[in-house]
Amino acid sequence: MNSIILQTATRVLVALILVFSVYMLLRGHNYPGGGFIAGLIAASAFALFAMAWGMEAAQSALRIPPGNLAVSGVALAGLSGLMAIFYGDGPFSGQWLTLIGAKEEDGIVISNVLFFDIGVYLTVLGAVLTLIFALEEAS
């Protein structure tokens, strides 16, 4: 598609959608949202980019092959499940790491659940983009 309106709007929209997807990802920790939906949103940003600027532009904008993105996502999710081994708990059990302050007193706490969610995000983004690129290249 070669439309100036779409191309101009896309420049702004893609950035906005990507930021929104990260917001959705982090929000999913305590509220509705999460890695899956955020990954879909991010994938829609690249799909939009591909529509406006073409497949090659979208691929070079992504920089990493989407397949690798998906695989690294699965690896991250798997690793977050393995984290429990250092604490002597069962596989995939939740672990919280306190960064600043104490957990009870509004300190900053980071959990392996978050890493799992980021893994899901990357996997969904990579898998959907693999598919979109494959279908688009074929047609």
Partner 1 sequence: MEGPLAVVVGILIATGVYLMLARDLLHYLFGLVLISNAANLAIFIAGRLTRASPPLIPEGQEAPQIVVANPLPQALILTAIVIGFGLLAFALALIAQVYRELGTLDVDRMRIAEPVRPKRKKSL
Partner 2 sequence: MSWLLALPFFIPITTALIAFLARGRKHLCSVISITGCFAALCVSIAIVTLVVSGGPQAAQMGDWQAPYGITLIADRLSAVMLLISAIVGLCVALFAISDINENRVKLGFHCFFQLLLAGVSGSFVTGDLFNLYVWFEVMLIASFALLVLGGEKIQLDGGIKYVALNLVSTLLMLTSIGLLYGLTGTLNMAQLHISLAEVDNPVAISTLAVIFICAFGIKAAIFPLFFWLPASYHVPPVAVTAVFAGLLTKVGVYALIRTFTLIFPNDLGFTQNILLGAALLTMLTGVLGAAAQYEFRKILSFHIISQIGFLILGLALNSPLALAGTVFYMIHNIVAKTNLFLISGTAQRLAGSYELNEIGGLYKASPLLSTFFFIAAFSLAGFPPLSGFWAKLLLVKASLDQTAYFVTAVALITGALTLFSMSKIWAEAFWKPHPQGHCKSLYSLSVAERLQRLLPVSLLASITLILGFMPEPFIEYALGTAGELLHPDDYLEAVLTGSSH
Half-sphere exposure of 3 (CA within 13 A, CB side): 10
Smallest separation (angstroms) from partner 2 to the CB of 33: 21
Q: Which of 32, 91 has the CB closer to partner 2?
A: 91
Smallest separation (angstroms) from partner 1 to the CB of 59: 17
Neighbours of 43 (CB within 10 A): 22
Could you say which of 16, 57, 64, 78 contacts partner 2 (CB under 8 A)? 78
Q: Are 101 and 107 in contact (CB under 8 A)?
A: yes
Q: Which residues pair with 22 in a beta bridge?
A: none
Could you give the string, one character per residue 24-43, with x where binding to partner 1 holds by CB under 8 A and - elsewhere? -------xx---x-------
**Residue 127: contacted member of partner 1, partner 2, none (CB under 5 to 8 Å, by partner type):** partner 1
Could you say which of 16, 57, 94, 137 contacts partner 2 (CB under 8 A)? 94
Q: Which helix (H) or strand (E) holds 100?
A: strand 96-100
Question: Tokens representing 117?
Answer: 């969610």
Q: How far apart are CA 45 and CA 47, in angstroms?
A: 5
Could you say which of 67, 109, 111, 115 contacts partner 2 (CB under 8 A)? 67
Nearest to residue 44, comparing CAs of 25, 20, 60, 8?
A: 20
**Identity of the residue numbered 99:** L
Q: Which of 93, 98 has the CB closer to partner 2?
A: 93
**Site residues (vs partner 1, CB under 8 A):** 31-32, 36, 124, 127, 131, 134-135, 138-139
**Site residues (vs partner 2, CB under 8 A):** 67-68, 71, 74-75, 78, 82, 85, 89-94
